[in-house]
Chains A and B, each alone.
Chain A
Amino acid sequence: MTNNLNNSYDVIIVGGGHNGLVCAGYLAKAGKNVLMLEAQSQVGGAAITDKLIGGKKVSSCAHFLNQLSPRVSNDLNLASHGLKLSASNISTIALDLAGNHMHLNKTSVKGGNVSNSDADNYKKFMTLMHEYAGTLGFMIDIAPIDIFNLDWDDKVAAMKLGWKFRFSLGAEKMSEFLRMIGMNIRDVLDDEFDNELLKGALSFDAVLGTYTGPYSPGNFLTFLYRIASGNSGAVDIPKGGMGAVTAAMSSAAKANGVEIRTGSRVKSINVDNCAVTGVTLENGEVFNAKIVASNANMKTTVLDMVGPRHFEADFVKRVGDIRMRGAAAKIHIALNDVPEFSGLARGDLINRLVIAPTQNDVERAFNHVKYGEVSTSPMMEISIPSLVDSSLAEDGHVLSATVQYAPYDLKGGWTKKARADFLEVCISRIAEYAPNIREKIEYAELITPNDMEDRYGLIGGNWHHGELTLDQMLMLRPVPEASQYQLPLDGMYICGAGAHPGGGVMGAAGRNAALEIIKGKTK
């Protein structure tokens, strides 16, 4: 669509992260005239493919695709817009120092001295988890129920939820779910399994990207979330890195008629007479629309872009109170060759490699972050995507790892020395399992939670634009008054991970927001 004369649109999307792109795509598909404004020179937000010094490429933040909503993928026809997988449904390998690694799949586990009874229990447990996910997963794809202003959709959802809970699950599984919902992952796993490596790896899934340790109540739910979202927990590697996913979304949005302007940082969202009128860019350009959907962080949106004076004090206080502490860092390593992991064949290395030996180790690693320190012995999720995707590194390979835990508010700050020290800790940690890695390293970099805030606007360095804890989920996310994507200001919506169902390259928040905008319910 060409630029119109009076800069007027039906909807303006602020921020071109993956949820913004999805939201724009759905709106344009429904016939809306949509403008997307992205501050950076490319769209994608935190889901892009970065070029490292030396030219090798790596996914900037998340490096596995495991939560992308199949509905979004189908509706926007992302495959036809170039989304390809270089590996799908890969296994998780829990690394063991003695080389006796454990291979985990959807409902089977082998290696790592796992006993028959643990293997049986794993099957039963994961089957139950998939059953919970299958029963309750529909909640991810709808706006949270607004129990005080039930509209028809809310009533249908509430009845569906009640029915599924009571009849699909049955009394026994329902009561078991009600028991487990608030639990910490550690107690859940201790009740089920004996094998420490198994429990360590599973607990890692519950704490990944969160500000919790295995002992923190409530993270059983984040564990379940991984399974309930996306393709039943299956882990894929996108061809071309995560940037290829957002490139496909961008292409789909454009094909549907969305106008995308990069290098256009929004300074303010404009309000007149208690209604949104459009936005002003930092360069002074003004664009008009009666609906603005922000893919930016909730705090940035409310406190900086719209401004607190357009909301009630109580609402502003709640927004300020949203907890968004990041505790995960990332490292990217360019390699001249694949390092050898003791006890693993080269072919095994295409899988998701996890360093989380025991639940206690994970918890001890978490302890530090509470005091503004980095883990001395961090936990990791490692990917070597170039093994299945040579486009990322023409010669040699790239390795990326998500590292738990590193705090946002490091005592003494993230100085050059602090960064170098922690990068060294992380490399040493990998070297415990891959002794020859140092010989292969061409370049290595550390991305701290603060970098994530600076680069991608992830306030606090939190991936989810708000921690995924019980008190910040569903109708409490991001704050109760905005849980159905519309803020208490005419025409103002949010469409990012700060809203239900939260972070991960899922696209569900963008889709749900678009559907609410199309529905056009007024508050």
Chain B
Amino acid sequence: MKKYDVIVIGSGHNGLTNGAFLAKAGLDVLVVEKNDYIGGATVSRNLHKDWKYSNCSYLASLFRPEIYRHLNLAKHGLQVVTYNGGFTLTDSGDYLGSFSDHEVMRREIRRHSPVDVDAYDRYYHQMAKWCRFIRPLLLRTPPDPTSFKPRDLDELKFLGKKFFDLGQRDLYDFMKFFTVSVGDFLDEFFDSDLIKAHKAGSAVVGTNLGPRSPGTAYVLLHHYMGDVDGAVGAWGFPRGGMGAISGALAGALQEHGGEIRINAGVDKIMVKRGKVTGVRLENGEEILADRVVSNVDAKKTFLGLMEPEDAGEKVVKAAKRYKSRGSSGKLNIALNGVPEFTALPKGSELIKGDFHIVDNMEAYERGYDEWKDGMWSTNPYLDILIPTLTDPTMAPPGKHFMTCFVQYCPSKVKGQDWNADLLKKFGDNVIDSIAKYSPNFKDLIEHVEIRSGQVIDNEIGLTEGNIFQGELSLNQLMFNRPFHGCAQYRGPVNGLYLSGSTTHPGGGVMGAPGANSAREILMDMKISTTVPEDEGDD
């Protein structure tokens, strides 16, 4: 019976990144996937006629350029197209546009709030500064602060120096930024509630926090630190939808001899005498390997795929305490044309970007309060995009695909499981919200896929549908991600590793956790590593 060097459980983008780097280093790699398609939450799926839906994740920006280059993803068909535009619609019938041209953006801010023009410059520079500070940390393994190993001490020293080098003023500003709420953070810059609302969305996306909850400012950064072709903060679409990323990664994996098996859900990670021996599939088949990498989140890995006695009491307790609450939902919509938004000037290019309909901070916070009580927000924050305006390959000619991310949406409705009726009510609320600003929107709808956290959990295994494989809160970042003892990508038994967003640096279609994990595996095997560290694209 064939024995692999490594089995990767789950073909999400991090699992594929991990497998591809290991295969590139010459290892015999098998990726097993429970669904009949690869990609996990990074997929393009034909769910309606000739439409392709990026039905989970919907944007590329955070994906590390180092991985793109080292796995030669261009050769495997990955092309990321930048988009421009975006706007927030106001209740009063106006809009605040997003412009990539700094001068135009200043003018747009002046139109709404003259005192905020200079604040925008300060805000922009500060965010850029924190992006540049944090980006080099993404492709590094966090140190264990309790360890005396030379490697950990070196890394702590590196981090200490990096922080110290910021200088007094910036270091203290960063400490503040790292713990403050996005509402308080934005209050220090802007006067206009509309501008704050326009900016605050990224800080609560995927979190179980409101804009007044400490720690949300950092999440803002988490969504800003990406880039497309070296333009920091830019966002883009992979041509053909998010599946193009997993497709290219799978191509790289296979180019180096790695294998992928679909319809191969894992039942258990097999452990003998404190060492992994392989995986047992749901159909009973056993596949042997010296190493198993779980790309599944920490909760499902340690509480679902392992026997408690294998994981150990400490890890089981920590996994139970690991927080992965779902707070978002999604609608994927097939449209027969481009919806008109009455507030936008005719022919405005802004519609090519991401747009939102919550125009004040109180509404966000009230939406969060509803979620705390187990309900979806009646006036939800929506992050809406029509990728087909930039990449027409996702829908038939003249037709469009709209992705609509919804914050907040509970993983259970007042403790009750989701059913078709609840999904419809939730979806209708979102569609009505959009239709208030777009008279022809409803008429254009040809098909809608409505997804709650629970639906996403059942389909691709993100616990409660948490888009980050675990909340991005201070207690679950860096050496605390997922928790102390497993933060360096190693599980509690020999030969077991983690590679998903459940590890540092966390969620988003970034690939960094998968790459870092591969580097650690190769280090343990004393194979000279093929995994890049930060290459300083700034």
Contacts and interface: CB of A to CB of B under 8 A. Distances in A.
A187 B214 CA distance: 14
A217 B210 CA distance: 11
A175 B484 contact: yes
A471 B366 contact: no
A179 interface: yes
A480 B179 contact: no
A126 interface: no
A480 B172 contact: yes
Contacts of A439: none
A182 B473 contact: yes
A212 B214 CA distance: 9
Contact of A323 (B172, B184, B483): B184
A469 B480 CA distance: 20
Interface string B99-118: 00000000000000000000
Give the top 10 A-B pairs by smallest Cβ distance, nearest first.
A182-B474, A171-B146, A175-B484, A470-B179, A480-B172, A471-B176, A148-B168, A218-B214, A217-B215, A217-B214
B369 interface: yes
Contact of A480 (B168, B213, B214): B168
A69 to B, nearest CB: 26
B118 to A, nearest CB: 12
Interface residues of A, number: 35
Contacts of B267: none
A217 B485 CA distance: 23
A217 B473 contact: yes
Nearest to B323: A187
B520 interface: no
Interface in B356-372: 362, 365-366, 369, 372
A371 B483 contact: no
Interface string B55-71: 00000000000000000
B212 A370 contact: yes
B145 A178 contact: yes
Given A182-B215, A367-B369, A370-B212, A476 B176 contact: yes
A175 B214 contact: no
B179 A218 contact: yes
Interface string A461-482: 0000000011100011000100
A427 interface: no
Interface of B: 145-147, 164, 168-169, 171-172, 175-176, 178-180, 184, 188, 209, 212-215, 321, 323, 362, 365-366, 369, 372, 473-475, 479-480, 483-485
6 contacts: A148-B168, A174-B145, A175-B484, A179-B480, A471-B176, A476-B175
A215 interface: yes
Contact of B362 (A176, A314, A371, A476): A371
A449 to B, nearest CB: 17
A371 B366 contact: yes
A217 B180 CA distance: 9
A133 to B, nearest CB: 19
Contacts of A166: 146
Contacts of A272: none
B168 A191 contact: no
A339 to B, nearest CB: 33
Interface in A312-353: 314, 321, 323
DSSP majority for the B interface? helix
Contacts, number: 83
Nearest to B365: A370
A183 B145 contact: no
Contacts of A217: 209, 213-215, 473-474
A136 to B, nearest CB: 15
Interface of A: 147-148, 166, 171-172, 174-176, 178-183, 187, 191, 212, 215-218, 314, 321, 323, 360, 363, 367, 370-371, 469-471, 475-476, 480
B48 to A, nearest CB: 38
A371 B365 CA distance: 9
A480 B167 CA distance: 12
Given A187-B323, A475-B172, A476-B176, A218 B215 contact: yes
B213 A216 contact: yes
A183 B322 CA distance: 12
A301 to B, nearest CB: 20
A180 B369 contact: no
Nearest to A219: B214
Given A178-B480, A321-B188, A476-B175, 7 more contacts: A179-B480, A182-B473, A182-B475, A183-B474, A215-B213, A215-B372, A480-B169
Nearest to A171: B146
Given A175-B146, A480-B172, A216 B475 contact: no
Contacts of A470: 179, 214
B176 A178 contact: no
Of B146, B169, B171, B473, chain A has the most CB atoms within 10 Å of the CB of B146
Contacts of B479: 175, 178
Nearest to A173: B146
B176 A175 contact: no
Contacts of A174: 145-146
Contacts of B171: 148
A336 B168 CA distance: 59
A447 B467 CA distance: 45
Contact of B321 (A182, A191, A480): A191
A338 B362 CA distance: 42
